[in-house]
Amino acid sequence: MKWFTNTFSYWSELVSEIRIWWVFRSAARQNITKLNENDLRVDWLGRIYGVVNMPEEVVGAAPQVQQAYVLQQINKWGPLTTEMGLSDIIYPEINRIPSTNAYLVVMWPQYDALGLWYILGNIIKSAAVGFGLYLLARVIWVNFHHVTELFNKLLGLAGM
């Protein structure tokens, strides 16, 4: 039953995520100068990204120390994202840049319903459910007199 109800609730979820993406993208593009002042950039999708360079003493340390250093550097961008109104929806994705002493930090909202394959799958699922409902309605409409006779017989058996 959950599969059936998810077919219909997905579309409101998708609209909500598109709205969040649009708000995030607009806020990022309106504040490009503030972001550039803090060594952050915005790409064509509206993602905010920056590079965290690690000093030599951190590079030779354990991976936990490197991660702590990157998180500390991300915290300096916190007031900026709060000022832009994005701190509640932003999630950082941290990836090491190969053959360098730096990490790439990409910040943008977490999306569940806003994926190409997920959208295509739900279009197919919605079409299948819609076609099934159409067939059910068509069978009831064509055989309406049989359905009413059956209903009357059931009412007669129940004594009504």
Model pTM score: 0.69
Structure tokens at 49: 């990204």
The CA distance from 127 to 125, in Å, is 5
pLDDT, tens only, 20-58? 888 888 888 888 888 888 889 998 888 899 999 888 888
pLDDT, tens only, 3-15? 667 777 888 888 9
Asked whether the beta carbons of 62 and 75 are under 8 A apart, the reply is no
Residue in 50, 49, 67 with CA at minimum distance from that of residue 58 = 67
Q: How far is CA 103 from the centre of its chain?
A: 24
Asked whether the beta carbons of 51 and 106 are under 8 A apart, the reply is no
The CA distance from 16 to 101, in Å, is 38
Percent of the chain exceeding pLDDT 70 equals 98
